[in-house]
A and B are shown apart, each in its own frame.
Chain A
């Protein structure tokens, strides 16, 4: 009868080992689930930012000139201190003006104003622009070459319970030149 069964000590040791091993496995699984939450948060921020950036770049590339930055009219950007601001007005080839702005009251979003119709370039239920992070700068080598616009902004995820795993923040910046620039 003794040979067939297991002793108490054996059972306790095996139970302890199983507890330790399942604890390790549970820890690994838990951190991988946390990782997926973090990666989906990062995904939301990066997709919003990339889409906004490519939309703004596309409009700038096809614009004919920059008319205003931060509401001040601009004739050419080849001045010693490049004009910079939180909104930029671009003249299109059909005569219309498109304004990109990030100077709304908090929570700050990126907006596009086309003929009075204002659309949000980011999903403001999920992400917001970091205050003081957004700027449009216009540089120009001389008054006949194409102006180059530097766009910089930082997006942060909006979440009701900001925990380390759920929060994501990313900087976006690019420089685009006006390929249809007409100095005359």
Chain B
């Protein structure tokens, strides 16, 4: 009888000893799960806010780079700031070429148009501009394959028509010449100049946009011309054909590409500065009624 009493009293002690470990382990599992999920959420938020901060710093550094490049009119190499950001710029200005894409490939706004200088613009003394007047003939390229709707009216898919108003001749007594190109004759009244549809499309400048329409213009002692898309905005390219005299189109402006870097974030800003446009009154042209 005594031995039975002893055996039944030693069992509860061992059970109690094992229980504490189990309870502690379970509590720790619950506490760690809650704690770690909160911690990971906090770490994600911190990383996002750090990326946001770096992005803002990189953008401001890129803008500062554009500023500096505009002032110095030169390419600036990697320049650091004290807030762990830096910038680097590439200045492209004063380059003349036989094949040019207007506004670095940005579509030219319809009815507003873009100026193309056929003579030299003097940035330091603008009054001395209009020297080195080009003569010859050139191809005008426009239109993309997605712009294929020939019906009248404006829209994002309409085929653009191009009007060219060209000022040429001596600086003291210039004359104006106009061209009108439209590959959809049914929607435009009046005499049109010849438009060639290019199939396959042509890429006049390597790495630049491809065009599906081409027209020919010619000028003697050209001063400046305005290219105006109608019905739709369009990218415009120009290639001297055959080569112009003196060779190449003169510089059309400057463009600055500035890259700002902060930590792992890179922000890039492009600034295109074309030469001042002549007042619209210098280019009288008829608006096509649509």
Residues of A at the B interface (CB closer than 8 Å) are 3-4, 145-146, 177, 179, 182, 184
Majority SS at the chain A contact face? loop
**Which A residues lie within 8 Å of B153 (CB)?**
none
Q: Report yes or no: A3 in contact with B71, Cβ–Cβ below 8 A.
A: no
Q: Report yes or no: A182 in contact with B276, Cβ–Cβ below 8 A.
A: yes
**Which A residues lie within 8 Å of B71 (CB)?**
145-146
A182 to B273, CA, bound (A): 13
**Which A residues lie within 8 Å of B273 (CB)?**
179
A146 to B70, CA, bound (A): 10
Residues of B at the A interface (CB closer than 8 Å) are 9, 12-13, 67, 70-71, 126, 271, 273, 276
Majority SS at the chain B contact face? helix
A4 to B67, CA, bound (A): 82
Min distance, Cβ B232 to any Cβ of chain A, angstroms? 24
Partner of A179, one of B9, B126, B271: B271
A3 to B12, CA, bound (A): 9
A3 to B13, CA, bound (A): 8
Residue from B13, B67, B271, B273 with most neighbouring chain A CB atoms (10 Å): B67
Q: Report yes or no: B70 in contact with A4, Cβ–Cβ below 8 A.
A: no
**Which B residues lie within 8 Å of A4 (CB)?**
12
A61 to B, closest residue via Cβ: B63
Q: Report yes or no: B70 in contact with A184, Cβ–Cβ below 8 A.
A: no
Partner of B70, one of A3, A177, A182: A177
A118 to B276, CA, bound (A): 31
A164 to B71, CA, bound (A): 45
**Which B residues lie within 8 Å of A146 (CB)?**
70-71
A141 to B, closest residue via Cβ: B71
A179 to B70, CA, bound (A): 8
Partner of A3, one of B9, B271, B276: B9
A43 to B128, CA, bound (A): 53
Q: Report yes or no: A177 in contact with B13, Cβ–Cβ below 8 A.
A: no
A145 to B, closest residue via Cβ: B71
Min distance, Cβ B16 to any Cβ of chain A, angstroms? 9
Min distance, Cβ B217 to any Cβ of chain A, angstroms? 28
Q: List 14 A–B pairs whose Cβ atoms lie within 8 Å, in order of A's numbering.
A: A3-B9, A3-B12, A3-B13, A4-B12, A145-B71, A146-B70, A146-B71, A177-B67, A177-B70, A179-B70, A179-B271, A179-B273, A182-B276, A184-B126
**Which A residues lie within 8 Å of B67 (CB)?**
177
A179 to B269, CA, bound (A): 14
B277 to A, closest residue via Cβ: A93
A182 to B, closest residue via Cβ: B276
A145 to B126, CA, bound (A): 14
List the 6 shortest-distance A-B pairs measured between CB atoms, nearest first: A177-B67, A3-B12, A179-B70, A179-B273, A4-B12, A182-B276
B66 to A, closest residue via Cβ: A179
**Which B residues lie within 8 Å of A184 (CB)?**
126
A146 to B67, CA, bound (A): 10
**Which B residues lie within 8 Å of A179 (CB)?**
70, 271, 273
B124 to A, closest residue via Cβ: A144
**Which A residues lie within 8 Å of B126 (CB)?**
184
A179 to B271, CA, bound (A): 10
